[in-house]
Copies of this chain bind each other. A is one copy, B any other.
Amino acid sequence: MEKVRIGIVGVGNMGSNHSRYLTAGDVPDGDLVAVADINPDRIDWAKKTLGESVQCFDTAEDMFKSGAVDAVIIATPHYFHPPLAIKAMGLGLHVLIEKPAGVYTKQVRELNAIAEKSDRVFGLMFNQRTLSSHQKMRDIVQSGELGEIQRTNYIITDWFRSQSYYDSGGWRATWAGEGGGVLMNQCPHNLDLWQWICGKPNRVRAFIGFGKYHDIEVDDSVTAYVEYENGATGVFITTTGEAPGTNRLEVTGDRGKSVLETRNITFWRTRESVSKFNKEYKGGFGSPEVWKCDIPAGSGGEGHKGITKNWCDAIRNGSDLLAPGTEGINGLEIANAMLLSAWTDDWVDIPFDDDLYHAKLQEKIDGSTRAKEAGGKVLDVAGTH
């Protein structure tokens, strides 16, 4: 086939970012040919900025049905990701959605069921999977080099946001507009990486501050304890209230400890199995010999552009997706489980009752005193994730 003819739904913060590298010709298998936005200001911006070769539509549906596009990137507020993706696939279009896949598992499970029956290429903008350091950390764990996992610890608190950020859009940080706070907006990447590298926990107990550091109604401070099927334990900590914050993933296993911190990886590798040493050593005090290994984590990773290139390559040449859309449910399940645990002050097993979560979220929306908008000002996201 010819180059993939791409349309973008929503040219707000992230959509306009995607339009920039596409119009710059950075994605060899794809061309930006259209955008759709319900906000007339954004259409004016698109007309001025993107040139005459890019058609503009007032609604996603008009663009989907126009015949002008083969594939669409959906960069709307979160709630609209699943219904728009379902509609686009139903009209025969390939789909790449921004993270999160959706706001609640019930909605995303429906999307996945449709995607699995479709022959369209369905990708997800998990751009952090493109970073060589994340891929290498996954390699160390998944290849078995680290041995069976004992414990994970992800402190990902470098998501500082000021009150002015939250004030920039009425939909931001509301149950109606985003369906959550730091877990739904900033952390989909980290929750995905965590489960991509370490596997998905099966039990969650979370402690969450809602509007702890900001005048918002949703989560901006999270500490969660989790357990995995093999008995390993884990902790996930995030907030938008700290500066400068920390970005550090520690994973321990039967062969030592691997730490990824700000793109550097160190692997303290035990020369023998820790559990074997534990059983067989006879000397009282004593521990396995450890080799401190600097791991070549690289500095590569094309980010958003890399995911879009991979998606176009998959459409045109059938290559594998780095971030299949159906995998979006994994991190979302963890996020929903954390919120449900905090709301109920109790354990939540994964998988949990999708209908229960949906009902609890709807209660939050109904009980909210915040404006229930979907829109807002456009911020410059250059340099963000």
Contact = CB atoms under 8 A, between A and B. Distances in A.
Interface of A: 150-151, 153, 155, 157, 160-165, 168, 205, 207, 209, 212-214, 221, 223, 225, 227, 231, 233, 235, 237, 239, 241-246, 250, 252, 256-257, 268, 270, 274-275, 277-279, 281-288, 290, 377, 379-381, 383-384
Given A207-B225, A379-B284, A162 B278 contact: yes
Nearest to A242: B252
A180 to B, nearest CB: 19
Given A207-B225, A288-B243, A153 B252 contact: no
Contact of A241 (B150, B207, B237): B150
Contacts of A384: 285
Contact of A257 (B214, B225, B233, B244): B244
In the complex, which of the residues A163, A223, A278, A380 has the most CB atoms of chain B within 10 Å of its own CB atom?
A278
A256 B160 CA distance: 12
Given A223-B233, A225-B207, A242 B150 contact: yes
A211 to B, nearest CB: 12
Given A157-B252, A162-B278, A214-B278, A239 B381 contact: no
A157 B233 CA distance: 13
Given A235-B223, A278-B163, A285-B165, A246 B241 contact: no
Contact of A239 (B151, B168, B380): B151
Contacts of A150: 241-242
B237 A153 contact: yes
Chain B CB within 10 A, most for which of A209, A241, A270? A241
A380 B223 contact: no
